[in-house]
Chain A
Amino acid sequence: MSLSRMLENWSDLNKQDYYEDEPIMWGMSIDLNKCTGCGSCVTACYAENNIPTVGKEKCGSGHSMHWLRIERYWDEPEGEADLDIKESEYPERGAHFAPMMCQQCNHAPCEPVCPVAATYHTPDGLNAQVYNRCIGSRYCGTNCPYKVRYFNFFDFQEDIPHPLEMLLNPDLTVRSKGVMEKCTFCVQRLRSAKDAAADEGVRGHVADGAVQTACQQSCPTEAIVFGNLKDDKSKVSESWQSHNVELDRHEQFNEDERGYRIFEELNVEPSVMYLDRVRNTEA
């Protein structure tokens, strides 16, 4: 049976972009000019996705589970004004924040290496992680160039003190030890939005703005835009188009535009576009 299935659909199964004709592909755009590094997206992410807080000690030993993290880099101070404080560890300016979460790569390096197929690509362009299926070989983590996969090195859920387990989000699982977890663009929200649309009789389309990820919802400066990349009129695809960023490129040829995707030269096809920070060095 499966053999006949293989032979009948041979050309289909050998096609490269299997989900080409699907109506939805979730994508994001993050404007670093607007990001202040306040960290409310991180907090929202923790609250929405039942992410364990590990405490000071385990955070120090590198076991923290922040699916979304704010990376802070310090640019080389430019211009005259900074010269006298160049030696200081934290110069007056030059801080650069990059919210980093799973980029939902279309050619994700983490997917094909999982021995039990616990991570795979969903028809709506997400990089799904099936917690129940994961056996914790951690190959996906090593192969992720962004290192945004987090492994449950301990049984963190055991440490939740009594009444606080009431805070957990019932829409998704609480992960036990030995399981890899990661950002899924709040897949529980996307699913319920799709279901709501289906209830109204619309299949394969979710109105722009009908669903927000937790980080997008909580960002005070609206630096994060989220939506369907295959819908030309959605905010996120307008943002991608206006900054001349396209899929299927391993380098964006736009000298004057700010748009880029992180590590796109690795040919992993991330679905998150970043807009570079512009600085006035004269002031």
Chain B
Amino acid sequence: MRRRAKHFLFATFDDFEKAIEVISDLKRLDAKEDIISDIELYSPIEHPEVEEMLGEFHQPIQRFSFFGGITGAILGFIFAAGVGQSMFTVQPQGGKSVITIPPDIIIAYEMTILLGVLSTVAAFLIYAGLPRRLKKYYDHTVSVDQIGIEVETDPENNEKVRAVLQRCGALEIREETQ
């Protein structure tokens, strides 16, 4: 089965307020006619408000950190006490017992943080969709001070979307079909 080509419109704006306006307009349009598959916002800085506008992002990164940390703690302890200290070459030292709990806790603590950090970073790459290639229509001005709006829609609805973008003062609109 041939994959249906995706059609994108990419518009740049010089103000975040305008971008907010565009998104609400597009949403209204979508609610009326159901023509927009996806909206994505490109910005040079973070705008936490985006989450309210574009809908909740499903990114349970903290769960990765949590389970990574727990795994690290258990592995660290087993590693130090089980594997290292109670192997065949049992070595009592300094009159202490063979399995010494406090040092093993320190090892477990460090491993908690190490695996926690690594799994957090892994989760970041997974949920941010990185690493990836740059899109063809990606505009360098977005990394300076402009806001980009990417709309995925059918080619036949092109004009309607373009009208909305234009009305809100888009500086430039690009089209791309993949």
User: Which of these, B78, B94, B95, B99, contacts A13 with CB under 8 Å?
Assistant: B99
Is A228 in contact with chain B by the CB < 8 A criterion? no
CB atoms of A106 and B95 under 8 A apart? yes
- The residue of chain B having its C-beta at the shortest distance from the C-beta of A119 within the complex is B93
Is B151 in contact with chain A by the CB < 8 A criterion? no
Which of these binds chain A: B17-25, B81-89, B123-131?
A: B81-89
Name the B residues within 8 Å of A9 (CB-CB). Answer: 86
Separation of A234 and B93 alpha carbons in the complex (Å): 26
B92 to chain A, nearest CB (A): 4
CB atoms of B99 and A121 under 8 A apart? no
CB atoms of A117 and B91 under 8 A apart? yes
CB atoms of B94 and A112 under 8 A apart? yes
CB atoms of B94 and A109 under 8 A apart? yes
User: Which of these, A14, A105, A107, A108, contacts B98 with CB under 8 Å?
Assistant: A14
B99 to chain A, nearest CB (A): 5
What is the interface size of chain A, counting residues whose CB is below 8 A from a CB of the partner?
28
Is B96 in contact with chain A by the CB < 8 A criterion? yes
CB atoms of A13 and B97 under 8 A apart? yes
Name the B residues within 8 Å of A269 (CB-CB). Answer: 95
Is A120 in contact with chain B by the CB < 8 A criterion? yes
CB atoms of A121 and B93 under 8 A apart? yes
Once A6-B99, A14-B98, A14-B99 are accepted as A-B contacts, the answer to whether A108 and B83 lie under 8 Å apart by CB is no
What is the interface size of chain B, counting residues whose CB is below 8 A from a CB of the partner?
18
Is A164 in contact with chain B by the CB < 8 A criterion? no
Which of these binds chain B: A15-23, A55-63, A214-222?
A: A15-23
CB atoms of B98 and A18 under 8 A apart? yes
Name the A residues within 8 Å of B144 (CB-CB). Answer: none
A184 to chain B, nearest CB (A): 16
Residues of A participating in the B interface, judged by any CB pair closer than 8 Å: 2-3, 5-6, 9-10, 12-19, 105-112, 114, 117, 119-121, 269
Q: A6-B81, A111-B94, A112-B93 are in contact. List 14 more A-B contacts (CB 8 A).
A: A5-B82, A5-B86, A5-B87, A13-B98, A13-B99, A14-B99, A16-B97, A19-B92, A107-B94, A110-B94, A111-B93, A112-B100, A120-B92, A121-B93
Residues of B participating in the A interface, judged by any CB pair closer than 8 Å: 78, 81-83, 85-87, 90-100
**What are some 15 contacts across the A-B interface (CB < 8 A)?**
A2-B83, A3-B78, A3-B82, A6-B86, A9-B86, A12-B98, A13-B97, A13-B99, A16-B97, A19-B92, A105-B94, A111-B93, A117-B93, A120-B91, A120-B93
Q: What are the 10 closest A-B residue pairs judged by CB atoms, nearest first?
A: A111-B93, A107-B95, A18-B92, A6-B86, A13-B98, A112-B94, A111-B94, A120-B91, A6-B82, A3-B82
